[in-house]
Amino acid sequence: MAQLSNIEAGNRHDLHVGISPDAPDEADFRDDGEGAFGYAHSYETSSRYDGPGLRIVLFMSGCLLRCSYCHNPDTWHLKDGTYVSAQEVIDRLGTFAPALRTLDGGLTISGGEPMVQLAFTRRVLAAAKQMGLHTAIQTSGFLGDRADEKYLSCIDLVLLDIKSGDPETYRRATERELAPTLRFAERLAAVGKPVWVRFTLVPGLTDDPANVDKIARFVAPMKNVEWVEVQPFHQLGAFKWKALKLDYKHADTTTPTPEIVDRVLGQFRAAGCRAR
Ligand code: SF4
- Rounded to the nearest integer, the mean pLDDT of the chain is 95
**Residue 2 pLDDT more than 80?**
no
Ligand 1 centroid to residue 259 C-alpha, Å: 26
- Note the pLDDT tens digit of each residue in 220-255: 999 999 999 999 999 999 999 999 999 999 999 999
Q: What is the DSSP letter of 23?
A: P
What confidence score (pLDDT) does residue 1 get? 58
Instruction: Convert 137-173 to b/e letters by CB count within 10 Å (16 or more is b).
Output: bbbbbbbbeebeeebbebbbbbbbbbbbbbeebbeeb
- Degrees to nearest 5, angle at CA 198 with 151 and 27: 55
Ligand 1 site-directed mutation target among 174, 175, 177, 201, most atoms within 8 Å of CB: 174
**How far apart, in Å, do the first and last CA atoms of the chain sit?**
45
- Measured from the CB, is residue 61 less than 6 Å from ligand 1? no
Q: How remote is the C-alpha of 78 from its chain's centroid? A: 15
**Whole-structure pTM over 0.85, yes or no?**
yes
Shortest-distance atom of ligand 1 to CA 174: 6
In this model, does residue 186 exceed pLDDT 90?
Answer: yes
Please report how the helices 118-130 and 86-102 are oriented relative to each other, as an axis angle in degrees rounded to 10: 40
For the purposes of burial, counting CB atoms within 10 Å of the CB of 227, is it exposed (0-12), middle (13-18) or buried (19 or more)? Answer: middle
pLDDT above 90 coverage of the chain, percent: 91
Nearest CA to ligand 1 atom 6: 67
- The answer to whether residue 48 scores a pLDDT higher than 90 is no
Confidence band, pLDDT 50/70/90 cuts, at residue 18: confident
- Cα separation, 126 vs 148, in Å, equals 14
Give the 3-state secondary structure of residue 4: strand
Region for residue 50 given its phi and psi (left: phi exceeds 0; alpha: psi -120 to 50; beta: otherwise): alpha
- Give 163 Cα–ligand 1 centroid separation in angstroms: 10
Tell the residue nearest (CA) to atom 8 of ligand 1.
Answer: 70
Nearest to 141 by CA among 40, 37, 63, 215: 63
